[in-house]
């Protein structure tokens, strides 16, 4: 007696389609990790963003320049960002040098310590993701960022 071969196959698992919720979940998961590390150093996410902007700037920035740069990244209220810059000055992570702000050695050391702590975590999170997947994700994220920034600009015009 012969039997017919089964033509049914196991369902194929499909990857989730990228959407706003997936992007938000990834962002907040990664941010949560960073905020845990920052808390151990007595720093906030917004302080880290502002301090990194000051450290990585090509030239010293005025407070207004720094606020504008951080606002472009975080879309936060300028008054909140100014308060953050004042906190960084009070904690001597930034110092006023005439009309410009400069990161202090303590500010640079804080960023280096946070980077050193998060590097192995980042390696575990991002490791083994194929380069072509990272490139595709990078293109999509750049496009989403561009479009969302345009929509925000239209809403606030």
Residue with tokens 């590390």: 37
pTM for this model (two decimals): 0.86
**Position 51 in a domain:** yes
Distances (CA, A) of 136 to 19, 28, 73, 81, 130: 14, 21, 22, 33, 10
Q: Which residue has the higher pLDDT, 107 or 13?
A: 107
- Please list, in sequence order, all residues whose beta carbon lies within 8 angstroms of the beta carbon of residue 18, skipping any fewer than 6 positions away: 137, 140
Residue 145 lies in a domain: no
**96 band by pLDDT with thresholds 50, 70 and 90:** very high
Residue 53 near residue 73 (C-beta atoms within 8 A):
yes
CATH number at residue 83: 1.10.10.10
**45-56 helix and 63-74 helix, angle to the nearest 10 degrees:** 120
Per residue in 3-51, pLDDT (tens digit) is 555 555 666 678 889 999 999 999 999 999 999 999 999 999 999 999 9
Phi, psi of 152 (to 5 degrees): -65, -40
Residue range(s) defining the domain that contains residue 91 = 40-125
Does residue 53 belong to any structural domain of this protein? yes
The closest alpha carbon to 59, from 97, 86, 87, belongs to 97
Which residues have CB under 8 Å from 144's CB, separation 6+? 23
- Residue 68 main-chain phi, psi, to 5 deg: -65, -40
Nearest to 30 by CA among 124, 110, 132, 129: 124
Q: 58 lies in a domain?
A: yes
pLDDT at 16: 86
Residue 135 within a domain: no
Average pLDDT, rounded, for the chain: 93
Number of domains in the chain: 1
């Amino acid at each position: 007696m012969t039997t017919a071969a089964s033509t049914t196959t196991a369902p194929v698992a499909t990857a989730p389609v990228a959407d706003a919720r997936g992007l938000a979940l990834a962002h907040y998961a990664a941010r949560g990790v960073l905020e845990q590390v920052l808390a151990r150093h007595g720093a906030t996410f917004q302080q880290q963003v502002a301090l990194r902007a000051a450290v990585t700037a090509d030239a010293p920035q005025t407070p207004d320049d720094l606020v504008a740069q951080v606002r472009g990244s975080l879309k936060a209220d300028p008054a909140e960002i100014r308060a953050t810059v004042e906190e960084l000055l009070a904690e001597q992570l930034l110092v006023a040098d005439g009309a410009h702000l400069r990161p202090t050695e303590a500010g640079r050391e804080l960023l280096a310590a946070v980077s050193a702590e998060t590097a192995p975590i980042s390696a575990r999170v991002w490791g083994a993701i194929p380069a072509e997947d990272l490139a595709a994700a990078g293109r999509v994220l750049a496009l989403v960022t561009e479009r969302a920034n345009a929509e925000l600009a239209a809403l606030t015009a």
